[in-house]
Structure formats: C-alpha cells, structure tokens
Structure 1
Amino acid sequence: MKAIQLAQPKHFQKIDIEEPAPPGPGQAVVRTHRMGICGTDYSGYLGKMPFFSYPRIPGHELGVEVLEVGDDVTNVKPGDRCSVEPYMNCGECYACRKGQGNCCEKLNVIGVMVDGGLCEKFLIRADKLHTSETLTFEQLALVETLGIGCHACDRGAPQEGDHVLIIGAGPIGLATLEFTRLTGATITVMDMVESRLQFCRDTYGVPHTIQFKGDGSELEQIAEITNGDKYAVVTDATGHNGSMSNALQYVAHTGSLVYVGITTAEISFPHPALHKPEMTIKGSRNALPSDFTRIIRLIEDGTINTDPWITHRTSFDDVIDQFETFTKPESGVIKAVIEVA
C-alpha cells in the first residue's frame, strides 16, 4: 500500500506499507481522500517543529471515507465522509479527566508524533471521526485547521467591541480570524507579507491591517487604531520567537496574549512588560471535540466559506516535487491540499 514518509528534514520518500489490520473494538479503517498541508507540516519538513519525530508519515488535516468499523462502533459506518480529530489522548491524565484531551500529558498527534494519513488507508479510533452528510472531502480536510483557530479564539475570549490583534496571516491566523469575527470584536491583522494582508481585506473585510517592517512603525498605527488603548486580546500565530517576544507591547492593560504558534527558540521579555499591565498570557494547543462539531455545522450552513482558503492543489504523485515550493512565501500559498485518492 502506497504512502509518503518524511524520512528526515527536507527528505520525503515514497514507501510501501502493510495494509491496516481489521478494526477492533472502537476502531475504524478509513481511506484518505484529501490532506491539508499546514504550518506543522512545513515546520516538520524544515526541522523546526518541536513535537515532530522522524521518520514519519505526515498528515493530520484529513478528509476521509470510512471503509470498515469494529463491532461496537455506532458513531460512524462504512461510506461515511469524516473529518479526523488527530489528537490521540490517553483519557486518564489530569488534562483528560478535566475534558481537555487536546493537551493530554501523553498526547500523540497523528502525522506528527505517530504516523498519519498521507497513505491510502489507515486504522484509527472511531471516536476521533466527525461526520458530515454534505461536506466534500476537501472541506472536511480543513476542519482541523479551523479548529486550531476556534480554540485560540476561545482562549482569548474577545467580547463584542473589543480591539483584537492577530499577528500572522497564515492558515492558523486566518482560522483565528474566522472565529474572532463572529464575536463582534474589531479586528486588526498584522503580517510582514502585504499579499496576505490584502487577502484579509478582500476576503473578510478586515478594517485594519498593519504591515510589520521591524522598525517600530506599527506602534503608531496601533495607537491610532485603538485610540491609545492597545488591544484587549492579542493572538500570535507566527511561531516566531522574535514576534512572540515583541507581542507583549501591543497588549492593553488588563488584556490577554495568546500564543498559538509554536517555536523551538526561547521567548524573552522584561518582567514589567507582563506585570505592569497585569497581563494574562495563555498557550493554545490543538482543539476540542466540540470544536469539530461546531465547525462542520458552520461550514454546512454557510457561515464559514472555505473556498477562498485553498490556493494550491497537488496530487499524491506530485507532492514530493512540489512541497518545497509551498514553504516559500512568494508562492502565495494560503492553503495547499493533497489529492490522495
């Protein structure tokens, strides 16, 4: 059975793997139809993702078809189209007992810590499958990315009328934007790449965008936008330690800073930058099962339109040749999707 493996940073290879075993209790065999490529995949490819191990079959943003289920499985059946919740939590640790398996102490994310869906078929826990009767496999492959933004927005908890800053207009920043706009907050997006900011203005009507130049000029624009108050919520989706360190200076007194991007480098700031405004700093990791259910319904009813997101597509056979291109900002990639089957 065909699969693509990331043997080491910057080195993909096609491999043959065994057919999945028949599904046991609580399991299902699924066929991968579509895989979204996200920042985690790019970071894994570049050797910059702290949770990534090698060799690894990537693939955690997945639209799949159920082929076979174990005897006791009732939530899905053969033929169902599903989005995959890729977070394999233990169910027993402190976080899991609190209902927050997204940050399980023993968490294995498929396609990151264990092999994922860039293959023909694989075995998975059936409770990690979320069905839709109407969404395409391509739409279902985007649900996980949207889940990251949904959870990040909930961590910041902006209120109607708040000024909110999203730093980084890649897929995770855009996913955070999708849900922040539903809160009624006034949004500013900041990025270094003007074409990404233009996408935010054209697609979402974002009222304020700032092109970061590294010269401090963004501070004057922020003061003008917020009437000197700064932002009630700042979410940094860059995964860049410099940006994450600088982000504190954009937060209003009593405001919150959410880190949803991940870096292997140190983040540093003077303690008064945190203490003086009585700032709250939060991490945001993965998403919750309820986020998947909510997102599928929002796409189904048209509240979220995924069509503008997908700017690039590639086939299973061409992905090794094209993947390097997708890592470059000048490619204009917002979201690339692999057509696996």
Structure 2
Amino acid sequence: MLTVVCETPGTLRALDRPVPERAEGEVMLRVKRVGVCGTDLHIFTGNQPYLNYPRVMGHELSGTVEAAPTGSGLQPGDTVYVMPYLSCGKCIACRAGKTNCCVNIQVLGVHRDGAFTEFLSVPQQFVHKVEGVSLDQAAMVEFLAIGAHAVRRSGARAGQRILVVGAGPIGMAAMIFAQLNGAVVTALDSREDRLDFCTRSLKVSHSVRLGAGDEAQLATLTENEFFDVVFDATGNPKAMERGFQLVAHGGTYVLISIVGANITFSDPEFHKREMTLMSSRNATNEDFNTVLDAMRAGLIPPTLNTHRMALADVPTQFQNLLDPKAGVIKAIVEC
C-alpha cells in the first residue's frame, strides 16, 4: 500500500508498505480522506513538541470499513470517522471523562503512525459510523471539534464579546461555535486574506488586522472594556503572552495553541482582572457530536475546504500548503 512518511523535518517520502494486519478488537479501514492540520505542518517544519521521526502524519480522517469485529455494529463498506486521540480509559483523566487529555494518550499521526496511507487498523472504540455527511465533511470533523471543545470549556454565551486571535482553521472553528452560541465575534490576524474569509464566509461581526493601532481598534469595538473571552489559536508565544492584555475584567483566556516554550504574564494584571486562564486540548465525543449535528443542520460553511491533493502527490505538493499566497484554509488529501 502507498504510505507517505515524514522522515525528517522537510522530507516526505512515498513508500510501498505491507497492508497492516488487523489485531483483535480493531477495525481495518480503507482511508478515503485526510484533512491536513496545523499539526501536520508543524511536523513537516520540525515544530511539533510531542513527536519523534520518522512519522506517518494524518489524524483528521474518514474512510470505509474493510473488516470489523463481530458485534461491533460496523459492517464492510460503512462510512466512518476516527477519534484520533487513542486514550487508555483507565487513568485519572479518563476516569473523569476527560479522554482528550489522557495521561497515556496516543494521537494518530503524532505519537503513532497516522492516516497518510491507504489502510489503517484502529481499535474499535475509536471508530464511529457516520451518516448524513460526506467523506470530505467527515474528514473535517476533528479540527472543528477542537474549536467546539474550546468554546464549550470557555462557557461563551449569547451577547458576550469574543476575540479569536489567529484565523487559521482552529481559530475559525472557535469562531463558528462561539457564534452558534450567540456571541459577538472579532477575528484578529496578520493576514488580510484570512480576515476577509472570516468576514465573508464565517460572517464574524468584526475583523482587525494585526499591527500598529490594533489594540486601539479592539478597545473601540468594546467601549474600552475588551473581551469577555479571548481564544488564542496562533501557536506563537509572543501572541499568547500579549493576549492577556485583551481580556476584560472578570473574563476568560483560553489557550488552544500549544508551543514548546514557557509562557509568562504579569501577575498584577492577571489578578486585578480575576481572570480565568485555561488550556483546551483536543476534543471529546461530545464535541464531535456537536460538530456532526451542526454539519447536518447546514451550519458549517461549505467553503472551508479550499485545496485538495492525491496521496501520491503529497511528497511534492505538501510544501505548497505553507505558502500564504496559496490561500489555504483546509486542504484534504484523497487516498
């Protein structure tokens, strides 16, 4: 089977590997679609803190069942998506229902080989039959669920002022679900094309270009009170630190981004606001179901998927996704 391996940062190679054997309790999948995530781009550029090379990337996937355990409820040919966070089910986080931050988590495409391949065998409990959405949509559930999870954790509600810093796919996912909660959303980013997309396709209330005078603009939009909830989706330490200044008194700051660095902030500024600071990692089944319900209701813009390529073309075309001029929002690999 064709498999694309990231051997070292910047080096992708197409290999012919044997089809994996299906272990007991696993489902053999024929991979059909794989969404390209910021994590994959970070792996390619060497900026993913939880990874060892070589690695088969890809954790946003949909496919069809080739074989499944008896009694699983899955049949050959069923369309499925995969929960890519393989949790242990036993640790302190799993026992509390927080499988997204399992102590022993194994994320497909990060801790273990992922979906840039033709066949994949996955434990049954992480494979979910999906109806009422396309293969393309099913491959985009995961990144949208990350945004839905962050919004759910934040408690964002109708009428609140929300700022999302970083208008990549994860940031856009947070914008979508904050708006579905009735919040008033402002997007902050350095790229005019991304901001235009947020205004045109996501219908955010405001967009502000990062740069000189941006804080004054944000102050004006909020009557100098700033934002009830700020989400950081930049993956940039300096941006993450700056975000503390943009949270209203009594507000909440949610770090969706993860970076291999220490983040510092002014304790007096933090305390005088009685700010709530939280991280948001991955997503849970509840968040995946929230996304699927929104998709079936037609509430997710169909314009998010902007680029696609065949699996065989990944070694030569993948680096093009890093070019801002390409205007990539979400790329999908067809297997």
What TM-score bracket applies, with the shorter chain setting the length? over 0.9
CA distance in 1, matches of 2:206, 2:35: 28
Partner of 1:286: 282
* Residue 112 of structure 2 corresponds to residue 117 of structure 1: no
1:92 and 1:139 map into 2 onto residues whose CA distance is 31
Q: In structure 2, how many angstroms separate the alpha carbons of the residues matched to 1:23 and 1:228? A: 59
- CA distance in structure 1 between the aligned counterparts of 2:228 and 2:167, rounded to whole angstroms: 19
Alpha-carbon offset, residue 201 of structure 1: 0.7
**Whole-angstrom distance in 1 between the partners of 2:55 and 2:162:** 37
Is 1:264 matched up with 2:263? no
Aligned residue in 1 for 2:15: 15
Residue 207 of structure 1 corresponds to 205
Q: What is the SS of the residue equivalent to 1:133? A: coil
Q: How does 1:134-173 map to 2 (within 5 A)?
A: 134-173=132-171
SS of aligned partner of 2:312: coil
Shift >4 Å, 4+ stretches:
none
Can you give the 5+ residue segments of structure 1 that lack an aligned partner in the other structure? none
| 2:235 aligned to which of 225, 233, 239 | 239
* CA-CA distance at 1:336 after TM superposition: 0.7
Please tell me whether the aligned partners of residues 23 and 69 of structure 1 are also in contact (alpha carbons under 8 angstroms): no
C-alpha contact (below 8 Å) 1:149/1:179 kept by paired residues: yes
Identical counterparts, % of pairs: 37
1:42 matched to 2:41? The reply is yes
- TM-score where L is the length of structure 2: 0.97
SS in 1 for 2:254: strand
1:23 Cα deviation from its structure 2 partner:
4.3
| Equivalent in the alignment of 1:64 | 63
Match of 1:313 in 2: 308
User: Which residue matches 2:246?
Assistant: 250
Distance (whole Å) between structure 2 residues aligned to residue 45 and residue 242 of structure 1? 22
* 8 A Cα contact 2:146 2:173, kept in partner: yes
Deviation at 1:211, TM superposition (A): 0.3
1:31 Cα shift?
0.7
Secondary structure, in 3 states, of the residue corresponding to 1:318? Answer: helix
3-state SS of 1:312 partner: strand
Q: In structure 2, what is the Cα distance between the partners aligned to 1:290 and 1:277?
A: 31
| Residue 111 (structure 2) pairs with residue 132 (structure 1) | no
TM-score normalised by L of structure 1: 0.96
One of 82, 85, 90 as aligned partner of 1:84? 82
Look up the equivalent residue of 2:6 and give its one-letter code: L
CA distance in 2, matches of 1:121, 1:2: 9
Matched, 1:3 2:3: yes
1:118 and 1:79 map into 2 onto residues whose CA distance is 20
Instruction: Report the AA paired with residue 20 of structure 2.
Output: P
Q: Deviations over 1:145-193 (max 9, x none)?
A: 1011000111211111110000011000011111001111111000000
Letter in 2 for 1:291: D
Say which SS state the counterpart of residue 324 (structure 1) adopts.
helix
Partner-residue secondary structure (3-state), 1:3:
strand
> How many pairs are equivalent?
335
Match in the other structure for 1:332:
327
Query: Which consecutive unaligned segments of at least 5 residues does structure 2 have?
Result: none
